[in-house]
Amino acid sequence: MAEHSIVTRTQVGRRPGRYVLRAVVTAYLFLLVAWPLYLVARNAFADGFTSLNDILTDPDVTHALRLTVVIAVTAVVINTVFGVGISILLVRYDFPGKRTLNALLDVPLSVSPIVVGLALVLVYGGREGWFGPTLESAGLQIIFATPGMVMATVFVALPLVIREVVPILQEVGDEQEQAARSLGANAVQTFRRITLPAIKWGVIYGVVLSLARSLGEFGAVKVVSGNVLGETRTATLVVEEKYLNFDKGGSYATAFLLALVAVACIIVVSVLRPKEDR
Amino acid sequence: MTSSTLAPQRPAAHRRSLRGGLPLTRVSGLGLGVAMVWFSLLVLIPLAAVAVAAADGGWAGFWRTVTNDQTAATIRLTVGTALLVTLVNIVMGTLIAWVLVRDRFFGKRALEILIDVPFALPTIVAGLVLLALYGPGSPLGVNIANTRIAVFLAFLFVTLPFIVRTVQPVLAELDPEIEEAAASLGASRFTTFRRIILPSLTPAIAAGAALSFARAVGEYGSLVLLTGNLPMRTEVASVRILSSIENDNLDSAAAVAVVLLAISLAVIVVLDVIQRRVMRRG
Amino acid sequence: MSIEIVNVGKRFGDFVALDDVSVSIPSGRLTALLGPSGGGKSTLLRIIAGLERADTGKVDIEGVDATRLPPQKRNVGFVFQHYAAFKHLTVRRNVAFGLEIRKRPKDEIRGRVDELLALVHLEQFADRLPSQLSGGQRQRMALARALAVEPTVLLLDEPFGALDAKVRKELRDWLRRLHDEVHVTTVFVTHDQEEALEVADEIVVINEGRVEQIGSPDDLYDRPANEFVMRFLGPVTQLGDQLVRPHDLQLSTDPTGIGVLGRVARVTRIGFEIRVDLSTTDGQSVTVTLTRNEFLALGIQVDSEVRVRLAPGSPATTVSAPAARPATPTLAAAG
């Protein structure tokens, strides 16, 4: 991957056009992303730390934050195990329908979060869902409960780990794994000692991306959660609810917390990534 | 180049063929089985349920639902704005990728991070973020909240990374010698770009555009606070589906959802065709 | 016999990689699997290692039926063409890998690794990562890693294929010396006939999934079993319907002597060799290589009339298919 990072400067030259392009791009990104983002931070601190303090002492909000973290972490764990497993199957093994599966794994990227929610309600809804009533009579409530919210979150973040790990697995090839096998390592030892270290950074990026996506999921969770105060309300739902109830300070403060985590995730990835290139 | 590729999609040119591999062993076969059961329970069966629910009212019912004035307006607005946004992204995304790859200046790394912000930022927060600059009390003195411009702006924000991140690596790998060769043969810079560079970028641009379009069509979170969801004015398809769900009218929700899924499916097929073409070209 | 391969067949889809192959590879020797690319020799090696499973047939290693054993239970050392270095481990940890898997005591591992690093002359590189080594050094590390587990057999797949000509030659000599020291049953795959002739005790020639000939380098060179082996092992030219080596042909200027009459068409000097291209009275083109002294002694030049014949006792095979060049009937051949 090292070659990818070589900056080719040939055609840039020293022409005025370069400065025009640079200015256009910078202005575009400034107006679309940087300035609005800054304003959220400023609005969050419009009254000093009052808003932030208020939301962090509001038990409903802290419950929502905790719930968000629990759901996101659970979803990330599931997607990491599934993602690494399916990546290895896709790259190292051959089976009928592999191409179709590969294409289907991208589907969650193109499905509206609201449709995701709807789809889960149709199958797991307690009253009319395909499996919902059966599961509910067995004591397992999915929709309007944490399992449904985890499923919705897993759905929307599903391809992220796979898309990071598959290219790396292809890049490293299988010779190292074969060498390990010929030196006496069994499947588990080969995975732990050879495969995992090789795909480590891909897995870490995938996990960070999935975490950012999972913490911020809104639409799908909104549909399946029922948005019950103090029970199934997540942080993103708090942002909406507070804004619509004219508690803009609280809304901006919560949004600021979420944005902070998201930006931190991006920075972590951008700091980590060059290490792999070295 | 920092290339913190947060956009979820690797560029088409980087996605190699998955051909070949070992036959399944007992353990890997079991693993595949478990993964397929999970994937079916989570994704395939629920999406099938949407199609089944949409078919519940028969073709006439389906058609009545999706051609209902209010619903048809949401679909028109969603698809139309998504197309427009995708066009803007094709130009701006390629331009941004070009500057990030070919230019060097102080602060470029910060721009790299800004590109990825819309991907990682919760969509509801994205709406709030745009509201802060373009809503009531805007420091710019503009207020586009509750207008169709707000829909356009929200789509533009959430789809920012896609084309940039698919084009960037392809552009970085283009051999500068090819451009030098074109120049030595007398091609102007514009001709070189149009005849030499653009054709190599086309698959990546197309792949990014497809993703960006699909994302815009399904967008919901960033619109909630920004557009007011005014029927016949700023209401998009996702919002329409949600209000049907909230009114416990799951069948009409499913009908509109099927339209969105069909659009997504078309996008995936296009993406796949592009990939195949790129792979054949090697 | 150390490795017994009996009636092994292997297909990849429609492609027949190995077609009912049977080979016995002797203990303690250095055996080459020689053949053109895509001929099945690497597949055979990988079947011996267990990295590939045969569709049919049986593989015994030191009297144990290994046909269905997974690679980690075969106790073979395998060296890959592209080294397959564990990139995240130092040279020392790479070499120690197999011993760590076998849960040997730390001291023993350290001692054994030091010994092997000395054997492959990589002592001073023990704490480097593979990315900091040259290709030749990486391949020596891979060899030490394979030897560390004291394998029953050592298998090398085109071990020097990715190296440049000079390093390749050095490593080739070095492999021969190493084998003389370590005496482990060794099988290596190569498409380079010179490499096989120079290094191996035994050569198995494989082409299109079948064994063409098995024998010592002398056997193969002096008594090629068929036209393919003859052609593959060195330069050939055709005299009548006989395929012969250009340096086994003798020229004479005596017009009444024995041999086929021809006229010199071209003389080319290649280093210490002189190549003489003849056109026989039958219209056949024949190439003869001579030393410079032989050439001078003959005193011939372009258009000289010469007689050409095969030196007695030289290897020759009969050409089965008609020659590629527009041959007039050439039955009136040598002798």
Q: What angle do CA B113, B119, B121 make, to 5 degrees?
A: 90
Q: Return the CATH fold of A49-272.
A: MetI-like fold (1.10.3720)
B17: in domain: no
Q: Which pair of tokens denotes residue C234?
A: 């060195």
Domain C3-228 homologous superfamily, CATH: P-loop containing nucleotide triphosphate hydrolases (3.40.50.300)
- Higher pLDDT residue, B3 or B193? B193
pLDDT in tens, C17-59: 899 999 999 888 999 999 998 888 999 999 999 888 889 999 9
Separation of alpha carbons C83 and A108, rounded Å: 39
Residue B35 belongs to what domain range? 24-55
Smallest CA-to-CA distance from A227 within A149, A168, A171 is with A149
pLDDT at B18: 66
* Domain boundaries along the sequence of chain C: 3-228, 246-313
**Minimum distance, in Å, between the CA of residue B258 and any CA atom of chain A:** 9
- Do B152 and B42 lie in one domain? The reply is no
Tell me the pTM.
Answer: 0.81
CATH of C246-313, one of 3.30.420.480, 2.60.120.10, 3.60.40.10, 2.40.50.100: 2.40.50.100
- Do B62 and B51 lie in one domain? The reply is no
Neighbour-count burial of A39, counting CB atoms closer than 10 A to its CB (0-12 exposed, 13-18 middle, 19+ buried): buried
- Whether residue A182 and residue C146 make contact (CB cut-off 8 A), yes or no, is yes
**Minimum distance, in Å, between the CA of residue A257 and any CA atom of chain B:** 10
Prediction ipTM score: 0.85
- Whether residue C72 and residue A181 make contact (CB cut-off 8 A), yes or no, is yes
Within chain A, which residue ranges are assigned CATH 1.10.3720.10? 49-272
Averaged over C47-76, what is the pLDDT? 89
- Higher pLDDT residue, B61 or A210? A210
H-run or E-run covering C288: strand C285-291
Task: Grade residue C177 by pLDDT with cuts at 50, 70 and 90.
Answer: confident
Task: Grade residue B16 by pLDDT with cuts at 50, 70 and 90.
Answer: very low
Neighbour-count burial of A188, counting CB atoms closer than 10 A to its CB (0-12 exposed, 13-18 middle, 19+ buried): exposed
Task: Grade residue C156 by pLDDT with cuts at 50, 70 and 90.
Answer: very high
Contacts of A43 in chain B (CB under 8 A): 132
B7: in domain: no
- Do B75 and B37 lie in one domain? The reply is no
Q: Does B194 have pLDDT greater than 90?
A: no
Q: Convert A136-168 to b/e letters by CB count within 10 Å (16 or more is b).
A: beeeeebbbbbbbbbbbbbbbbbbbbbbbbbbb
H-run or E-run covering C167: helix C165-182
**Minimum distance, in Å, between the CA of residue C86 and any CA atom of chain A:** 6
Q: Does B14 have pLDDT greater than 60?
A: no
Separation of alpha carbons A9 and B100, rounded Å: 11
Task: Grade residue B15 by pLDDT with cuts at 50, 70 and 90.
Answer: very low
- Do B144 and B263 lie in one domain? The reply is yes
Who contacts C32 (Cβ-Cβ below 8 Å, separation ≥6)? Answer: C187, C188, C189, C190, C195, C196, C199, C200, C202, C203, C204
Q: Does B221 have pLDDT greater than 60?
A: yes
- Do B41 and B67 lie in one domain? The reply is no
Question: Please, what are the averages of pLDDT over each run of 10 residues along chain A (278 residues)?
Answer: 40 65 89 87 81 84 90 95 93 88 85 91 86 86 89 92 89 88 88 91 89 89 79 86 85 89 87 56
Give the lowest-confidence range in B89-103, B127-141, C196-210. B127-141
B238: nearest CB among A40, A91, A219: A219
- Do B48 and B84 lie in one domain? The reply is no
Residue with tokens 């909230």: B246
- Do B37 and B156 lie in one domain? The reply is no
CA A5 to each of CA B110, B247, C204: distance values in angstroms, whole numbers, following the listed order: 17, 52, 46
Q: Does C334 have pLDDT greater than 50?
A: no
B8: in domain: no
- Do B188 and B213 lie in one domain? The reply is yes
- Whether residue A262 and residue B120 make contact (CB cut-off 8 A), yes or no, is yes
- Do B198 and B259 lie in one domain? The reply is yes
State the chains in contact with B (3 or more Cβ–Cβ pairs under 8 Å).
A
- Whether residue A107 and residue B6 make contact (CB cut-off 8 A), yes or no, is no
Closest residue on chain C to A192 (Cα): C101
The DSSP bridge partners found for residue C278 are: C264, C286
- Do B125 and B263 lie in one domain? The reply is yes
B216: in domain: yes
C72: nearest CB among A185, A194, A198: A185
pLDDT in tens, B96-123: 998 888 888 888 888 888 898 898 888 8
